[in-house]
Amino acid sequence: MAPHRKSRPPSPMGIRTPALATAALTSVALLSQTANASPAEEPRPSLEEVEKKVDDLYRQAETAGEKYNAAKEKTTKQKKRVDTLLDDVARRTEKLNDAREELGTFAAAQYRTGAAAPDTASLLLADNPQDYFDQTQLMDRLTSRQKQSVDDYVTQQTATTEKRQEASESLETLTRTQSSLKTSKADVQRKLATARDLLSKLTAEEKARLAAIERKKQEEAQRKADELARQQAADAERRRQEAAQGTGTSTGSGSASGTSGSGSGSAASTAKADKALAFARAQIGKPYVWGASGPGSYDCSGLTQAAWKAAGVTLPRTTWDQVKAGTTVSVNSAQPGDLVFFYDDISHVGIYIGDGMMIHAPKPGAYVREESIYYMPIHSVVRPA
């Protein structure tokens, strides 16, 4: 007969119904998936955001490019100065050696005759010969010719020391400028690489939409250029009528429509502007390359500098200096050949050709071309001196 045992009630923790088991397994699976899942990808920027970012990067690259141009120009000037100083130091050192040799000859002669040889030898070894002279009576024992040799030696030593110090300081300045040059170059390359990376991620459809946005921007800029052309033509006609009636009150600030606009510029200045424009037109189609000033490629200020150089006018290298190299005029008074500067930081420039249009080297990946001056926000218009 089986023993009687008092059964224990099952523990609540031990109960495993099918529904609870399924829920537990599901929770474990979800936790496992969450733990193993990679971080969520950042949402793709909108096309408008990409366009703005790329435009900003190109602008920043152009600004960094102008800094590069400034550092490069400064480096060239400083290197020439350092080379000149080093040549001067070499010549002075040679003269110093000649003076030292002549003093050595006198010392040897004095030694043979037993006259003041130790004093002369001390002179040659002294760090500061002038101090030595102030403390001894050597000069009283030297002949007139010997005194002149000593004076020459002291003069050459002082001048050589000063020039060596000047050359050393110039070399330090050159080193700092070269470092700035490398920094600006790296900055340009980094920004352009970021822009290229953003554009490379666009789909074919997005690239087509981006091109449509660009066309719309071009059309609006052209509309404004046409308005300026009409305004300039009307102003020119009004001045002609006033001149014919003898009632003209214009001071002759001048404006232009096309390349035949009127103005107060002399025939010589007009001829120079024509030469600058002819050169600029001949560069249309050549690629934009930051830091380039021709003849195969250009950046914006490199093109304007080269164009006016062809007309016999020397402009500075950077936009920041070119904007100071002439007379500021209003946009309505712009004449062919004038320089049109853009953005608050004056980081871009083109050469005005009339009818609200310019020739410029736009940006990386583009070519020298004609374009409305309203394609970018205008900063000022300058007539080269």
Least confident of 117-131, 228-242, 350-364: 117-131
Q: What is the pLDDT of residue 251?
A: 46
The reply to whether 360 belongs to the active site is yes
φ, ψ dihedrals at 358, nearest 5°: -140, 165
C-alpha triplet 361, 366, 372: angle, nearest 5°? 55
300 catalytic per annotation: yes
CA distance 134 to 140: 12
The pLDDT score that the predictor gives to residue 96 is: 74
Q: What proportion of the chain, given as a percentage, has pLDDT over 70?
A: 71
pLDDT above 50 (res 267): yes
The two structure tokens encoding residue 296 = 């195969």
pLDDT per residue over 318-358, tens digit each? 999 999 999 999 999 999 999 999 999 999 999 999 999 99
**From 275, 348, 363, 383, the catalytic residue:** 348
Quick one: three-class SS letters along the chain? CCCCCCCCCCCHHHCCCHHHHHHHHHHHHHHHHHHHCCCCCCCCCCHHHHHHHHHHHHHHHHHHHHHHHHHHHHHHHHHHHHHHHHHHHHHHHHHHHHHHHHHHHHHHHHHHHCCCHHHHHHHHHCCCHHHHHHHCCHHHHCCHHHHHHHHHHHHHHHHHHHHHHHHHHHHHHHHHHHHHHHHHHHHHHHHHHHHHHHHHCCCHHHHHHHHHHHHHHHHHHHHHHHHHHHHHHHHHHHHHHHHHHCCCCCCCCCCCCCCCCCCCCCHHHHHHHHHHHHHHHHCCCCEECCCCECCCCECHHHHHHHHHHHCCCCCCCCHHHHCCCEEEECHHHCCCCCEEEECCCCCEEEEEEECCEEEECCCCCCECEEEEHHHCCEEEEEEEC
Q: What angle do CA 313, 334, 236 make, to 5 degrees?
A: 125
pLDDT band of 293, cuts 50, 70, 90: very high
User: Is the confidence at residue 366, as pLDDT, over 50?
Assistant: yes
Between 265 and 362, whose confidence is greater? 362
Which two tokens mark 259?
């390349």
3-53 tens-digit pLDDT: 454 555 554 444 444 444 444 444 445 445 545 555 555 677 788 888 899
Average pLDDT, the chain: 80
Name the pLDDT band for 252 (thresholds 50, 70, 90): very low
Q: What pTM does this model have? A: 0.69
pLDDT for 60-94, tens place per residue? 999 999 999 998 888 888 888 888 888 888 887 88
Q: Please tell me the predicted confidence (pLDDT) of residue 155.
A: 78
112 within 8 A of 104, measured Cβ to Cβ? no
Q: pLDDT tens digits, residue range 143-179?
A: 566 666 667 777 777 878 888 888 888 888 888 888 9
Going by C-alpha positions, the residue among 318, 383, 304, 315 that lies closest to residue 351 is 304
Kindly name the residue from 163, 360, 363, 379 that is annotated as catalytic: 360
Of 300, 307, 334, 382, which one is the catalytic site residue?
300
Q: What burial class does residue 123 get, using C-beta atoms within 10 Å of its C-beta: 0-12 exposed, 13-18 middle, 19+ buried?
A: buried
Residue 300: alpha-carbon gap to chain centroid: 11
Q: Classify residue 357 as exposed, middle or buried by CB count within 10 Å of its CB (0-12, 13-18, 19+).
A: buried
Beta bridge partners of 52: none
